[in-house]
């Protein structure tokens, strides 16, 4: 039997969606950051990817596995802007290179909600380095979940002088919370997608079953994920239980389609496309 090549996100928030799949005979699973998952699917190096939702519009044509997603319905805790000044005064943002959908969401919110047009750079997820050169930093995933922004101290530019400047207070803006306040809808960050014909009905059922098993065991998932960092287990379990949602129902689809419309209006993608499922 030819195994289906799955490209899965390696972050904690994705682990319930892939629970046990690396031990099943029908799937061959690899883990990467979200941007890499998208690149592999676009290149044909995987058959199915847990891709950033915005990437559905940038490749394919793709189909989506029904009723499996990584979403939030309010605060998400792991997708945030960290700012050194009020958001209305932000003129530059360093974007996490791991992200695709959260970058697009930031661009949509800047255009539609915050009413700002900042310059954008891309940087590995290091808050101190990012905020040394920009007014704000977008950070996602585990790096955002575990970041204590109150302890962030942007690195001073030695070119100015030897005296360390006063350190600004860093504010965290949860983008899941902002999206919910703006639209009243959930936000969908990622889902399984692939080209038509790569999945049979039993494959779809297996993916949904994995989600069901992972979703009902947040403590176990967090404990196994943080096996080398037990101090994070409680935070991780609470996050999986309270912040992340794993279904793609009617409300999530409405949120996804609204995101696609707004992204097209903001020039982030060429068109809003059409959502299609296996």
Residue 153 binned pLDDT confidence (cut-offs 50, 70, 90): confident
Does 55 have pLDDT greater than 90? yes
Lookup: tokens for 89: 């005064």
Report the run of H or E that residue 19 belongs to, with start and end: none
Question: What's the chain's length in residues?
Answer: 278
Please write the tens of the pLDDT for every residue from 184-229.
999 999 999 999 999 999 999 999 999 999 999 999 999 999 999 9
Q: 224-249 as b/e, with b when 16 or more CB fall inside 10 Å?
A: ebbeeeeebbeebbebbeebbbbbbe
Phi-psi region of 220 (alpha: psi -120 to 50; beta: other; left: phi over 0): alpha
- Judge if 4-71+187-265 and 79-183 fold alike in CATH terms: yes
Q: Where do the domains of the chain lie?
A: 4-71+187-265, 79-183
Percent of the chain beyond pLDDT 70? 95
Which pTM was predicted? 0.92
Please write the tens of the pLDDT for every residue from 92-127.
999 999 999 999 999 999 999 999 999 999 999 999
Lookup: tokens for 278: 């296996």
As its CATH architecture, domain 79-183 has: 3-Layer(aba) Sandwich (3.40)
Q: Rounded distance, CA 31 to CA 36, Å? A: 9
Residue 43 CB neighbours (<10 A): 9
Cβ-contact 272, 263 below 8 angstroms: yes
Lookup: tokens for 253: 């689809």
Residue 161 binned pLDDT confidence (cut-offs 50, 70, 90): very low
Segment 237-264 shows an average pLDDT of 98
As its CATH architecture, domain 4-71+187-265 has: 3-Layer(aba) Sandwich (3.40)
Higher pLDDT, 164 or 210: 210
């Amino acid at each position: 039997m030819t195994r289906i090549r799955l490209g899965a996100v390696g972050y904690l928030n994705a682990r319930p969606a892939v629970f046990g799949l690396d031990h099943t005979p029908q799937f061959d699973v690899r883990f990467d950051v979200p941007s890499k998952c998208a690149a592999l699917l676009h290149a044909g190096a995987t058959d199915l990817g847990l891709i950033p939702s915005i990437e559905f519009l940038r490749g394919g044509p793709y189909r989506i596995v029904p009723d499996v997603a990584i979403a939030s319905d309010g605060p998400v805790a792991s997708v945030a802007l960290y700012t050194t000044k009020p958001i209305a005064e932000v003129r530059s943002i360093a974007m996490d290179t791991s992200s695709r959908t959260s970058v697009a969401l930031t661009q949509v919110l800047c255009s539609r909600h915050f009413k700002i047009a900042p310059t954008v750079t891309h940087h590995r997820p290091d808050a101190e380095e990012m905020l040394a050169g920009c007014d704000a930093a977008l950070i996602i995933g585990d790096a955002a979940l575990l970041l204590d922004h109150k302890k962030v101290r942007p690195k001073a530019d030695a070119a100015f002088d030897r005296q360390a400047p006063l350190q600004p207070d860093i504010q965290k803006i949860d983008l899941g919370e902002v999206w919910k306040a703006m639209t009243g809808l959930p936000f969908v960050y990622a889902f399984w997608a692939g080209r038509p014909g790569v999945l049979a009905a039993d494959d779809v059922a297996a993916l949904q079953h994995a989600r069901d098993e992972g979703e009902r065991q947040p403590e176990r998932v967090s404990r196994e994920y943080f096996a080398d960092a037990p101090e994070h287990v409680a935070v991780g379990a609470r996050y999986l239980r309270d912040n992340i949602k794993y279904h793609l129902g009617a409300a999530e689809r409405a949120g996804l389609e609204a995101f696609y419309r707004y992204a097209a209006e903001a020039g982030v993608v060429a068109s809003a496309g059409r959502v299609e499922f296996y």
